[in-house]
Amino acid sequence: MGLIKIVGGLLIILSTSLIGFCYGNRYSKRMNNLIYMEQCLKILETEIVYGAVPLPEALSNVYKKGNKKVSFVFEDIKNHLLEDKTGDIYQSFKSVAGTLNEKLDFTKEDVEIFLSLGRVLGSSDRQDQEKNFKLILNQIAILEKEAKLERDKNEKMYKNLGILAGIAIVIILL
Amino acid sequence: MDEKEIGIYENVLEYISLELSQILKKIPDTYKSNVEEIRLRNNAPLSIYIKGSDFFITEEGIPTKNKDKARLVNGKEIIKTFQLISNYSLYAFEEEIRNGFITLKGGHRVGIGGKVLYGNNGIETIKNISSLNIRIAREKIGVSDGVIKYIVAFPRTIHNTLIISPPQCGKTTILRDIIRNLSNGLPIFGGAGLKVGVIDERSEIAGMYNGIPQHDIGIRTDVLDGCNKRDGTTMLLRAMSPEVIAMDEIGSISDVEAIHESLKAGVKVIATVHGNTLEDILSRRSLSILIKDKIFKRYIFLDNSKGVGTVKDIIEGDSFTSIKK
């Protein structure tokens, strides 16, 4: 009887800590992904502003050169663009909004800024594209800072909360 | 033959916005294989040009002469088509847009109409695109087989040749085919070919796309794409050691200088020019110098009396008499 109680208690603590851990982990994942996204956008900027590479090829290159954890969205955008044929880049960007939110833990605000790139990408000359990239990279840098603050604030808290909640439940049940 | 022509037409439709291309796909095959131009104009009927006359296209894809039945093109469709043509990448086509056209894969050309913006260095870009003219390139391999014997000289060289023709009569087509013939080698020369340097200022001869010529221009041909004739001649002479230099649409003083430059280096020239008769050309000051100096030994006149690229006459350049048999 005692053994079952101990094992049961441990299981509860384990699972709640896991929940806390996952919850807290989202913050560092978001921050890391924002950093990878920034790198990808910088690659894209180089492709466009200095290489004048046509967009589908540029997106493909970003996928190849960037960190695969994030750069796969650019390949998705490219595929959508080539299949869709409606001639609207913004739609192709929109098609990955869900993925950004679910797989990369981006907040609504992050996604919004990324999508704003879709509105201007490819629709002007190189000089103008460079300006747009600067603007968006600036915004992403701000988001990164914010993500770091939030991570520092929340990550530990959620992790501790998970363990403590588990212990609390066990104590009540005992 | 027809199958191939229809294929070319359908490839071009890939670049047109979905709503319009679905309509254009429905036109009868006999039209498809002959379409020369597809015209999109803001709030105007969708139309195609075939052998010099135009047809409007209805919603059901039926060519008609009645403009009231035609499908109107809207601004959104033009923008979408333009996006597809520029591969979603205006920035990659800055130079082309400044020149007023974009070359597509397959050598087809799209002319652009809209609001032209000027910057510090001349034309900056075109915005508010209002019309697009998609010219379908149909290379006609073998059209120059009949003229080539008038051009060649022995041993293994050619006469300086000027091709004179009104627009839409196949100037560039015949020039391209002459280049192909010379470059691939001729039976008259025992199969030997000439090294040909092409200065393709308007990207019409070779139709370069991503560094690959979209038309057959022969195996001994080097192309300077988008280069002006003066600079191109110097560049070719410096390092490419051409035996023949080919250029399209000469006219300005600097083009004439380019031709003189090649002659000095002992390189033969083939060029084309807009015009109907020799008098037309003589009336243009820069070109009249070339003719008075008897630089060209052969003048080929084209018209479209028996279809595009009909050779009307061939004139010998020293005596100005016809040598066409």
Please report, for chain A, the start and end positions of each structural domain, with discontinuous segments joined by +. Answer: 32-154
The CA distance from A23 to the nearest CA of chain B, in Å, is: 39
Give Cβ neighbours of residue A92 (< 8 Å, ≥ 6 apart): A77, A78, A80, A81, A84, A118
The answer to whether A71 touches A62, Cβ cutoff 8 Å, is yes
Domain identity same for B190 and B309: yes
The answer to whether A111 touches A95, Cβ cutoff 8 Å, is no
The answer to whether B302 touches B171, Cβ cutoff 8 Å, is yes
Q: Report the CATH number that the domain containing residue B241 is assigned in CATH.
A: 3.40.50.300
Q: What integer pLDDT is reported at residue A164 of this predicted model?
A: 92
The CA distance from A85 to the nearest CA of chain B, in Å, is: 7
Domain identity same for B242 and B131: no
User: What DSSP designation does A95 have?
Assistant: T
**Tokens describing residue B20:** 């319009």
Among B114, B135, B156, residue at a domain's last position: B135
Domain identity same for B223 and B310: yes
Domain identity same for B15 and B112: yes
Q: Report the CATH number that the domain containing residue B10 is assigned in CATH.
A: 3.30.450
Q: How far is CA B12 from CA A85, B21, B89, in A?
A: 14, 9, 18
The CA distance from B115 to the nearest CA of chain A, in Å, is: 14
Please report residues of A whose CB lies closer than 8 A to that of B82. Answer: 87
**Is pLDDT at A87 greater than 70 in this prediction?**
no
Q: Tokens 């820069």 appear where?
A: B286
Q: What integer pLDDT is reported at residue B325 of this predicted model?
A: 76
Domain identity same for B50 and B15: yes
The answer to whether B256 touches B246, Cβ cutoff 8 Å, is no
pLDDT digits (tens, 9 = 90+) for A139-170: 999 999 999 998 988 888 888 898 999 999 98
Closest CA to B111 of B99, B125, B94, B120: B99
**Tokens describing residue A59:** 């997106």
Are A87 and B79 an interchain contact pair (Cβ–Cβ within 8 Å)? yes
**Is pLDDT at B308 greater than 90 in this prediction?**
no
Domain identity same for B91 and B229: no
The pLDDT > 70 percentage for chain B reads: 100
Question: Distance between CA B269 and CA B260 in Å, rounded?
Answer: 10
By the CB < 8 Å criterion, does A121 face chain B?
yes
**Is pLDDT at B2 greater than 80 in this prediction?**
no
The sheet carrying B244-247 orders its strands as: B221-225, B196-200, B244-247, B268-274, B161-165, B298-303, B310-316
Give Cβ neighbours of residue A126 (< 8 Å, ≥ 6 apart): A48, A49, A52, B91, B94
**Tokens describing residue B286:** 């820069």
pLDDT digits (tens, 9 = 90+) for B134-177: 988 877 788 888 888 899 888 888 999 999 998 878 888 899 99
By the CB < 8 Å criterion, does A68 face chain B?
no
**Is pLDDT at A131 greater than 80 in this prediction?**
yes
Question: Distance between CA B3 and CA B12 in Å, rounded?
Answer: 14
By the CB < 8 Å criterion, does A120 face chain B?
no
Q: Which of A48, A81, A88 sits opposite B91 (nearest CB)?
A: A48
Among B85, B112, B135, residue at a domain's last position: B135
Q: What integer pLDDT is reported at residue B106 of this predicted model?
A: 80
Domain identity same for B170 and B124: no
Indicate the residue type of B58.
Answer: T
Q: CB under 8 Å, gap of 24 or more: what pairs does B313-319 form?
A: B314/B147, B314/B150, B315/B278, B317/B159, B317/B160, B318/B294
**Is pLDDT at B307 greater than 80 in this prediction?**
no
pLDDT digits (tens, 9 = 90+) for A32-54: 999 999 999 999 999 998 888 88
Domain identity same for B204 and B285: yes
State the pLDDT confidence band at B235, using cuts at 50, 70 and 90: very high
pLDDT digits (tens, 9 = 90+) for B269-301: 999 998 888 888 888 888 888 888 888 999 999
Question: Distance between CA B296 and CA A134 in Å, rounded?
Answer: 56
Domain identity same for B232 and B284: yes
Domain identity same for B79 and B176: no
Could you report the predicted ipTM of this complex, rounded to two decimals?
Answer: 0.72
State the pLDDT confidence band at A5, using cuts at 50, 70 and 90: confident
Q: Which of A49, A122, A125 sits opposite B88 (nearest CB)?
A: A122
Are B83 and A56 an interchain contact pair (Cβ–Cβ within 8 Å)? no
**Tokens describing residue B211:** 């560094």
B243 Rama sector, left if φ>0, alpha if ψ -120 to 50, beta otherwise:
alpha
Q: What integer pLDDT is reported at residue B304 of this predicted model?
A: 79
Please report residues of B whose CB lies closer than 8 A to that of A81. Answer: 88
The answer to whether B243 touches B267, Cβ cutoff 8 Å, is yes
Are B91 and A125 an interchain contact pair (Cβ–Cβ within 8 Å)? yes
Number of domains in chain B: 2
State the pLDDT confidence band at B1, using cuts at 50, 70 and 90: low
Assign B1 to helix, strand or coil.
coil
- Residues spanned by the domain of B195: 148-316
Question: Distance between CA A143 and CA A138 in Å, rounded?
Answer: 9
Q: Which of A49, A87, A125 sits opposite B83 (nearest CB)?
A: A87
Q: Which residues of B touch A (CB under 8 A)?
A: 17-18, 79-84, 86-92, 94, 124-125
The answer to whether B311 touches B178, Cβ cutoff 8 Å, is no
The answer to whether B91 touches A124, Cβ cutoff 8 Å, is yes
Question: Distance between CA A34 and CA B286 in Å, rounded?
Answer: 62
pLDDT digits (tens, 9 = 90+) for B209-222: 878 888 899 999 99
**Is pLDDT at A107 greater than 70 in this prediction?**
yes
Question: Distance between CA B225 and CA B185 in Å, rounded?
Answer: 23
The CA distance from B73 to the nearest CA of chain A, in Å, is: 15
Q: What integer pLDDT is reported at residue B137 of this predicted model?
A: 80
Q: Is the dihedral of CA A74, A80, A86, A90 positive or negative?
A: negative
pLDDT digits (tens, 9 = 90+) for B16-72: 988 888 898 888 888 888 888 899 999 999 999 887 788 999 988 888 888 888 899
Q: What integer pLDDT is reported at residue B86 of this predicted model?
A: 86
Please report residues of B whose CB lies closer than 8 A to that of A79. Answer: none
Q: What integer pLDDT is reported at residue A53 of this predicted model?
A: 87
Are B91 and A85 an interchain contact pair (Cβ–Cβ within 8 Å)? no
The CA distance from A51 to the nearest CA of chain B, in Å, is: 8
Among B113, B135, B157, residue at a domain's last position: B135
Give the containing element (helix H, strand E) for B163: strand B161-165
Domain identity same for B125 and B225: no
Please report residues of A whose CB lies closer than 8 A to that of B15. Answer: none
The CA distance from B288 to the nearest CA of chain A, in Å, is: 41
pLDDT digits (tens, 9 = 90+) for B240-266: 999 999 998 888 889 999 999 999 999
Domain identity same for B213 and B116: no
Query: By CA distance, what is A85's nearest residue in B?
Result: B18
